[in-house]
Structure 1
């Protein structure tokens, strides 16, 4: 399945609600077109995933590009 055919939501990047890993660090799961690309521990991590997914990280705050669940880009716990 292609990342472009997954299309589980309309946003390119989905940042899920905060979680805590086994070491006690707060993170948020990040998906690209519905497929998990990793864990972000900071806003900068989300930008890194955007670059890896061929998206301009300057679009982080652009409506419709990133969908945040459980709080916006400043919520990590």
Structure 2
């Protein structure tokens, strides 16, 4: 498994005068069965997942991630 994060710009950037609306990155070419990458851009967090074919059931992974984010949100709201 590989996990990486990058703190991105808080202000909108442009490439040849074309505004960049969002971005993400992914590490490729490694032997990892599961890769999770995170990047923030303009105050929003983007999370990317890459899995080896047959490594995990995609629906189960999606459900687990959704449940985890809901638990994190609830915990943050409870302390606010």
Q: Which has the larger radius of gyration?
A: 2
Which structure's relative contact order is higher, taking Cα pairs within 8 Å and 6+ residues apart?
1
Q: TM-score, normalised by structure 2?
A: 0.25
Q: TM-score, normalised by structure 1?
A: 0.25
